[in-house]
Amino acid sequence: MIQKYTETKILKTYQTDRHGNIRPVMLMNELQAIADTHAEILGRGRQFCVANNIAWVVTHYLIEIIEPLREGEKLEFSTWPSKHDGLKAARDFEIKGADGRLMVRATSQWIMIDLETRRPMRLGDKLPHDWPATAERALDLPFEKFPDFTPETQNEFAIRYDDIDVNQHVNNAVYALWATESVPFDFHDSHRLSKLFINFKKEISANESIVVIESAIDNLISRHKIITSGTENANVVCEWM
């Protein structure tokens, strides 16, 4: 059984910002895409989930951007299941340049839910007994709650039709967009994102129309609470260079 899955891609212009670096929303989309493909190969992807009325739900994405991914460069994306227990599974990622240098490393944590009850399920009930787990970790960090903070600014964004995915909630990558767009333009333009940590708490449904982002910047770290209808849906920590 495949334990590590790799794809080679070339970053396109539309995926990059004004400086030619990959946009955070596109980086998250690329990680999600390769994870989806690998899960399908392993027999526990979208087709299996739809047939069994279940879904994979992400609780954390922890991403370190060692070197910005640039337009036109040939990149090697790799992903693998790194560990799992009764209720939670981790999936790790690496992105390397054409010469093999490590540019991005990331880890993520997932649970599987019953779509009817919206409650987590024991993974042993749905994963095959030989579900792979490679001991290697791309980013060996704990999946924890982030420290609370006192907001300094507040931004509102309209939830667009295009933000809703096939699962009928706001796509995970949009949270990265909201967080990074909540810092002042001049700060964003003069700094590069080096870490993007997201703790997803509650999905945002298609019924919501406005999202509130509460933020605070302390030196090179920005913290963000993503809120709809008084509920904190996610907490994001960004580190900048």
pLDDT tens, position by position, 93-103: 999 999 999 99
Pairing of strands 231-240, 221-228: antiparallel
Average pLDDT over residues 209-226: 97
- Among 78, 105, 125, where does a domain finish? 125
d(CA 210, CA 202): 15
Task: Output the domain CATH number for residue 86.
Answer: 3.10.129.10
Name the residue range of residue 85's domain. Answer: 5-125
* Predicted structure pTM score: 0.94
d(CA 25, CA 178): 9
3-state SS assignment for residue 26: helix
At 130, is the pLDDT very low, low, confident or very high (cuts 50, 70, 90)?
A: low
Is residue 138, in this structure, part of any structural domain at all?
A: no
Angle 6-170-118 (CA atoms, 0-180°, nearest 5)? 90
pLDDT tens, position by position, 174-208: 999 999 999 999 999 999 999 999 999 999 999 99
Is residue 148, in this structure, part of any structural domain at all?
A: no
pLDDT tens, position by position, 19-73: 999 999 999 999 999 999 999 998 888 998 899 998 899 999 999 999 999 999 9
My answer on whether 21 and 109 are in the same domain is: yes
My answer on whether 120 and 164 are in the same domain is: no
Is residue 198, in this structure, part of any structural domain at all?
A: yes
Average pLDDT over residues 101-112: 96
Is residue 134, in this structure, part of any structural domain at all?
A: no
Is residue 189, in this structure, part of any structural domain at all?
A: yes
Is residue 86, in this structure, part of any structural domain at all?
A: yes
Number of compact structural domains in the chain = 2
At 2, is the pLDDT very low, low, confident or very high (cuts 50, 70, 90)?
A: low
My answer on whether 119 and 12 are in the same domain is: yes
My answer on whether 35 and 86 are in the same domain is: yes
